[in-house]
A and B are shown apart, each in its own frame.
Chain A
Amino acid sequence: MAYRVIVIEDDPVMLEEIVAVLRRSPDFEVASTYKQAHAAINPSAMFQPNLFLMNVDNEEMLDMVPDFVDRFPKAYILGMMNQWDPLVAQRVAQGGGTGCILKPFTAKDILEHLQVYASRGKNKPAKLISFFSPKGRAGRTTLAAILALLIAEKTGERVALIDADLQFGDLPIFFDLEPKRTVIDATQDIRLLTPVTFAPYFYPIKKGVSLLSSPDRPEYAELVTPEGLVEVVMMTGNIFRYVLVDLPSGFNPLALNICRISNLVFITTMINSGFEIKHARKAMDMFAQQDDGRRKVHAVFTRVNPFTEENRKKISEQLGYPVDYMIPNEYKMISVANSGRLAQGLPKDTLLMQTISGMADKIIAAKE
Chain B
Amino acid sequence: MAVETANSLERSSVIISVFSTTPGIGKTIIAINLAAGLAHEGYKVCLCDLDLQFGDVLNYLKITSETELTSEKTVAGAQRYLLDHPNKFNIKDFLIDYTQGNVTFSILPAPLYVFDAYQIDVQIISNIIGRLNFFDYIILDLNSMFSALNLEMLDISTVINYVGVIDFLPALKNYKVGYDTLIRFEYEESKIRLVENRADSQKLIEGRDVEKLLGEPFYHRLPNDYPSVNKSINSGQPLMFAAPDSKLTKSFDELVGLYTNRPKSVLQGEGQTSSSGGLFSKIKSWFGF
Partner of B59, one of A174, A250, A275, A286: A275
A134 in the interface, Cβ–Cβ < 8 Å? yes
Partner of B145, one of A170, A217, A248, A279: A248
B60 in the interface, Cβ–Cβ < 8 Å? yes
A305 in the interface, Cβ–Cβ < 8 Å? no
Q: Are A136 and B24 in contact (CB under 8 A)?
A: yes
Q: Which residues does chain A contribute within 8 Å of B246, judged by CB atoms?
A: none
A216 in the interface, Cβ–Cβ < 8 Å? yes
Within 8 A of A (CB), among B109-165: 113-115, 117-118, 143-146
Stretch at the interface among B168-176, B190-198, B216-224, B250-258: B168-176
How distant is B183 from chain A, measured CB to nearest CB, in Å? Answer: 12
Given contacts A136-B23, A168-B21, A219-B181, contact A273 B170 (CB under 8 A): no
12 examples of A-B residue contacts, CB within 8 angstroms: A135-B24, A135-B54, A136-B24, A170-B170, A170-B174, A173-B170, A217-B177, A218-B146, A251-B53, A278-B59, A337-B169, A340-B282
B interface, CB within 8 angstroms of A: 21-25, 51, 53-54, 56, 59-60, 113-115, 117-118, 143-146, 168-170, 173-174, 177-178, 181, 184-185, 204, 233, 279, 282, 286
A216–B174 alpha-carbon span in the complex (Å): 10
A286–B114 alpha-carbon span in the complex (Å): 8
A interface, CB within 8 angstroms of B: 134-137, 141, 167-168, 170, 173-174, 178, 216-219, 221, 248-251, 270, 272-275, 278-279, 282-283, 286, 334-335, 337-338, 340
A323–B178 alpha-carbon span in the complex (Å): 34
Rank and list the top 7 A-B pairs by shortest CB-CB distance, nearest first.
Answer: A137-B24, A136-B23, A170-B170, A275-B59, A279-B54, A338-B169, A168-B174
Q: Which residues does chain A contribute within 8 Å of B233, judged by CB atoms?
A: 273-274
A135-B51, A136-B24, A219-B181 known, 12 other contacts, Cβ within 8 Å: A137-B23, A167-B145, A173-B170, A174-B170, A216-B177, A250-B145, A273-B60, A275-B56, A282-B113, A334-B168, A337-B169, A337-B170
Q: Are B169 and A137 in contact (CB under 8 A)?
A: no
Choose among B22, B118, B170, B233 the residue with the greatest number of A CB atoms under 10 Å from its CB: B170
Q: Are A250 and B54 in contact (CB under 8 A)?
A: yes
Q: Which residues does chain A contribute within 8 Å of B181, judged by CB atoms?
A: 217-219
Q: Are B24 and A134 in contact (CB under 8 A)?
A: no
Choose among B25, B145, B185, B279 the residue with the greatest number of A CB atoms under 10 Å from its CB: B145
Q: Which residues does chain B contribute within 8 Å of A248, judged by CB atoms?
A: 145
Q: Are B146 and A136 in contact (CB under 8 A)?
A: no
Q: Which residues does chain B contribute within 8 Å of A250, judged by CB atoms?
A: 53-54, 143, 145
Chain A residue with minimal CB distance to B169? A338
Q: Are A249 and B177 in contact (CB under 8 A)?
A: no
Label chain A's interface by main secondary structure. Answer: loop
A229–B184 alpha-carbon span in the complex (Å): 26
How distant is B57 from chain A, measured CB to nearest CB, in Å? Answer: 11
A168–B19 alpha-carbon span in the complex (Å): 14
Total A-B contacts with CB atoms under 8 angstroms apart: 91
Given contacts A278-B59, A282-B114, contact A137 B22 (CB under 8 A): yes
Choose among B22, B143, B144 the residue with the greatest number of A CB atoms under 10 Å from its CB: B144
Q: Which residues does chain A contribute within 8 Å of B145, judged by CB atoms?
A: 167-168, 248-250
Chain A residue with minimal CB distance to B53? A250
How distant is B51 from chain A, measured CB to nearest CB, in Å? Answer: 8
Q: Which residues does chain B contribute within 8 Å of A283, judged by CB atoms?
A: 114
Q: Are A134 and B53 in contact (CB under 8 A)?
A: yes
Partner of B144, one of A168, A270, A286: A168
A250–B110 alpha-carbon span in the complex (Å): 14
Choose among B22, B53, B59 the residue with the greatest number of A CB atoms under 10 Å from its CB: B53
Q: Which residues does chain B contribute within 8 Å of A340, judged by CB atoms?
A: 169, 282
Given contacts A168-B22, A251-B114, contact A136 B144 (CB under 8 A): yes
A52–B46 alpha-carbon span in the complex (Å): 70
How distant is B172 from chain A, measured CB to nearest CB, in Å? Answer: 9
Chain B residue with minimal CB distance to A248? B145
Chain B residue with minimal CB distance to A338? B169
Chain B residue with minimal CB distance to A334? B168
Given contacts A218-B177, A275-B56, contact A249 B168 (CB under 8 A): no
How distant is B240 from chain A, measured CB to nearest CB, in Å? Answer: 19
Q: Are A137 and B56 in contact (CB under 8 A)?
A: no
How distant is B227 from chain A, measured CB to nearest CB, in Å? Answer: 13
Q: Are B168 and A338 in contact (CB under 8 A)?
A: yes
Q: Which residues does chain A contribute within 8 Å of B25, judged by CB atoms?
A: 137
A286–B174 alpha-carbon span in the complex (Å): 29
How distant is B69 from chain A, measured CB to nearest CB, in Å? Answer: 13
How distant is A208 from chain B, measured CB to nearest CB, in Å? Answer: 24
How distant is A168 from chain B, measured CB to nearest CB, in Å? Answer: 5
Q: Which residues does chain A contribute within 8 Å of B113, judged by CB atoms?
A: 282
Choose among B21, B51, B56, B178 the residue with the greatest number of A CB atoms under 10 Å from its CB: B56
Q: Are A135 and B168 in contact (CB under 8 A)?
A: no
Q: Are B173 and A249 in contact (CB under 8 A)?
A: no
Q: Are B53 and A167 in contact (CB under 8 A)?
A: no
Given contacts A251-B114, A251-B118, A338-B204, contact A273 B56 (CB under 8 A): yes
Q: Which residues does chain A contribute within 8 Å of B118, judged by CB atoms?
A: 251
Q: Which residues does chain A contribute within 8 Å of B282, judged by CB atoms?
A: 340
Q: Which residues does chain A contribute within 8 Å of B204, judged by CB atoms?
A: 335, 338
